[in-house]
Amino acid sequence: MAKVVMCHGIGYTYKHRDDMHSDWYKALRTGMIDTGFEPVEETGVAAVYYGNCFRSAGSKGAVGLDEFAAIPNYGLVDLSADLELELLRAFAENTDSGQAGTKGAVQGLLRRLERSKLLGDVPAKAIIWMIKQVHRYLTEDALRDAVLSRWDGVVTPDTRVVVAHSLGSVVAYDALAAHPEWEIDTLITLGSPLGLGAVSSRLRPPLVPGQEAKWPGVRRWINIAAVEDPVALVKELAPLFGKEVEDIPVRNGRFAMHSVLRYLTTAEAAKGIADGLGPT
């Protein structure tokens, strides 16, 4: 039974549960060993995988050698929804990649985000596609319900710690807020966009200015944000979700600023997981 449950963010549409589990577990184990903690056994770690919920109809098996070939040929005109533009602006304006550009605000922001390597070495259409994933999760109820259903059977009475990265931290908040009976000890959010108004105002339940936010039903919430990470634009979640949130800054380096594997190998994440698991 899983003692640790992990929830991924964007970029897993054409990956698989086993790939995620293997990569994340190796980094988690490395971080715990390097920090002097007894690592959790691989059988004690489970993954909430929902990436294929974002696949287009008929796209199964169409990836081949280049997963970007399966992505629609998105361009600037496809970033039209207010939420998408708000997300692009928030992510791009927190990068350290020079000037926004001169051929229009949206194009300049997109180019800045490309240069930052925030999402790796991906083309512009992939950045637009990933922003649209966040948009779709926050606005399409059927898709959101399908994503949240992936938690069914993964969390068990033995689960002590939930580790969630990027969009996965939004998914985890929704899931935990809806299931107080799970009695999770520790939630660890990594590179979380939960502090963005475009996101927090669309949670389940949404944050309303001036009102107390719903606590996600855990004993302890550790929020780890790299100072370089533009997705975690708002580094401190305590002002929004309550003073009980432990906001911890780390450094991931410019070229791995939003990398979940870099986050998982930090001493701060390792200690949070070890503390949540308790004595072995």
Q: Report DSSP letters for 124-193, one per residue.
A: HHHHHHHHHHHHHHHH-HHHHHHHHHTTTTTS-TT--EEEEETHHHHHHHHHHHH-GGG--SEEEEES--
For CA atoms 191, 195, 196, 201, give the dihedral sign. positive
Q: Decide: helix, strand or coil at residue 262.
A: helix
Task: Give me the residue spans of the domains in the chain.
Answer: 4-54+154-277, 68-139
pLDDT value of position 9: 95
Rounded Cα distance, 137 and 213, in Å = 20
pLDDT digits 0-9 by tens, 54-94: 886 544 444 444 445 556 667 666 776 788 878 877 766 65
pLDDT value of position 60: 47
Q: Which two tokens stand for residue 48?
A: 């909430």
pLDDT value of position 93: 65
| Helix residue ranges, H only, 191-243 | 197-200, 238-241
| Predicted confidence pLDDT, tens digits, the chain (280 residues) | 899 999 999 888 888 999 999 999 999 999 999 999 999 999 999 999 999 998 865 444 444 444 455 566 676 667 767 888 788 777 666 555 444 443 345 566 666 655 655 555 555 666 777 788 889 999 999 999 999 999 999 999 999 999 999 999 999 999 999 999 999 999 999 999 999 988 999 999 999 988 889 999 999 999 999 998 888 989 999 999 999 999 999 999 878 888 999 999 999 999 999 999 998 6
Q: Which two tokens stand for residue 124?
A: 């512009």
Cβ–Cβ under 8 Å, residues 113 and 127: yes
pLDDT value of position 99: 44
Domain 4-54+154-277 has CATH 3.50.50: no
Rounded Cα distance, 24 and 17, in Å = 11
Rounded Cα distance, 216 and 194, in Å = 13
The pTM score is 0.85
Taking Cα atoms as reference points, which of 137, 91, 90 lies closest to residue 114?
91
Place of tokens 């990956």: 15
Helix 82-92 and helix 124-139: axis angle, to 10°?
Answer: 120
Taking phi over 0 as left and psi of -120 to 50 as alpha, with beta for the rest, 43 belongs to alpha
Cis peptide before 205 (omega within 30 of 0): yes
pLDDT value of position 90: 73
Taking Cα atoms as reference points, which of 107, 111, 34, 94 lies closest to residue 226?
94
Sheet of strand 161-165, all strands in order from the earlier edge strand to the far edge: 45-48, 4-7, 161-165, 186-190, 220-226, 246-250
Cβ–Cβ under 8 Å, residues 157 and 184: no
Rounded Cα distance, 37 and 273, in Å = 10
